[in-house]
Amino acid sequence: MQKWYRQGSKLVLTPERIPDPFGAGVYRVAASEELGFHLVHLCDKLELPTKVYAMDEAFIAHVMRTIEATPGENLGILLSGTKGTGKTVTAKQICNLTGLPIILVEANLGLGMTLFLASIPQPVVIFMDEYDKTFESERQKDSNAMLPLMDGALNNKDTRKIFLLTTNASSVNENMLNRPARLLFHVRYSDLPYATIIEMVDDMLVHKELRQAVLAYISTLEMITVDIVTKTVSQANIHRQDPAKFAHFLNMSKRGTRWDAIMIVDENTERTIVEDVYMCAFDIDDIEKPVRLRGGVASVGTLKRVRNAHEADVEITSSDYGEENVGKQVHIKIQKVQNIHGAFKGVKPAPPTAPPLSETELLSQAMAGATAGGGGQFMISASRRA
């Protein structure tokens, strides 16, 4: 039976040495000519910020209940989507809550690493943050070599592995999708919701009189993440200015012009068929060519006549726009939409937060009150106002 022995902060797996098993903590996979594949102890648990934004508590609770109810079974969790939206902190929280040793895979060390991980004779969490950068590259065959380990083909019921993967990639390896025995959970993250944006701004903004300006600027951005909101507020705090005044200095992309497409079948039938997308104007040179209202998807139909840059007649070929409309020539127009991020659409503007009054303003108000009240007494001190 294989056992572990400790060499400083390093744990080496060998058939001959003890003690075994190793305890909870955070470890990194490493390799050297002297020791071969081994684990390096880093710390007792993964560090989290004092306050965490955009953490999905309901999902975490669901995962933990599943872990408790399925002892001995491998479990895979994939968190994908927009960077800076809570994937890593959610994954870290799950790792810590398991109470198991956490093994960080920070580099692709090849098939040998996969076999080493499979040989670990106890339950562990294997955490691969930004999996796409580590594995989805020129060493695709090594990425695929991880799959039997995730399937559980290389270990037994006493050596359960919990896999936690995060990826910023817009698309996910097809070998990962619709394979719940390999990855049971897949949560897709997008930009921050309005409630989280408001919470962050209210927590971090020092100059409350800038609240509306900060929110207005954030609403114009192409992407809204924890990092972007944090840095926007930080700059407003430092310079005590509306971020719009120094936006040209910031590494934050503004939203381009967006359009809705409206299909007019007849004078009584009009409906929006595509919302909030980038579009090009209709061009007479595209007559008899497919019309795509959203990049990379099937065409709506064939362009038959251009009325102007934003209106055209199209013969519908896709049943996505109603079976009854296939073969019909309809009028389609595109129109600009309010150029704000989707998180802010349909939301009433947040009420402004009044800045605290200065001593001079308080004194002025008190004097005005005294005058209005016929010379009433007032007093202002550093500790009490009456």
Boundaries of every domain in the chain:
3-189, 191-255+342-355, 259-336, 361-386
Question: 97-106, 166-175, 270-279, 371-380: which has the minimum mean pLDDT?
Answer: 371-380
Comparison of pLDDT for 267 and 107, the residue scoring more? 107
pLDDT, one tens digit per residue, over 155-170 is 555 688 999 999 886 6
pLDDT for 15 equals: 53
Q: Which one, of 139, 340, 151, 364, lies nearest residue 255 by Cα?
A: 340
Question: 125-139, 141-155, 211-225, 270-284: which has the minimum mean pLDDT?
Answer: 141-155
pLDDT for 372 equals: 45
pLDDT, one tens digit per residue, over 124-137 is 999 999 887 777 65
Comparison of pLDDT for 335 and 227, the residue scoring more? 227
CA–CA dist 340, 243 (Å, integer): 16
What integer is the mean pLDDT of 48-74? 90
Whether the link from the prior residue into 21 is cis, omega within 30° of 0, is yes
Percent of the chain with pLDDT over 70: 78
Average pLDDT, the chain: 80
Q: How large is the angle between the packed helices 57-69 and 87-98, nearest 10 degrees?
A: 30
What integer is the mean pLDDT of 282-288? 87
Q: Which one, of 78, 79, 161, lies nearest residue 123 by Cα?
A: 161
pLDDT, one tens digit per residue, over 239-263 is 999 999 999 999 999 887 777 888 8
For the cut 70, the answer to whether the pLDDT of residue 216 exceeds it is yes
CA–CA dist 39, 12 (Å, integer): 7
Second CATH level (architecture) for the domain 3-189 = 3-Layer(aba) Sandwich (3.40)
pTM attached to this predicted model: 0.69
Q: Which one, of 113, 139, 119, 94, lies nearest residue 29 by Cα?
A: 113
The first and second tokens of residue 88, run together, are 């890593």
pLDDT for 95 equals: 96
CA–CA dist 166, 128 (Å, integer): 7
For the cut 70, the answer to whether the pLDDT of residue 94 exceeds it is yes
Comparison of pLDDT for 207 and 320, the residue scoring more? 207
Burial of residue 238 (CB within 10 Å: 0-12, 13-18, 19+) is: exposed
Give DSSP secondary structure letters for 172-202: --TTTTT-TTT--EEEEE-SPPHHHHHHHHH
For residue 286, the 8-state DSSP code is: G
Question: SS3 of 81, please?
Answer: strand
Comparison of pLDDT for 2 and 51, the residue scoring more? 51
CA–CA dist 122, 25 (Å, integer): 14
pLDDT for 106 equals: 87
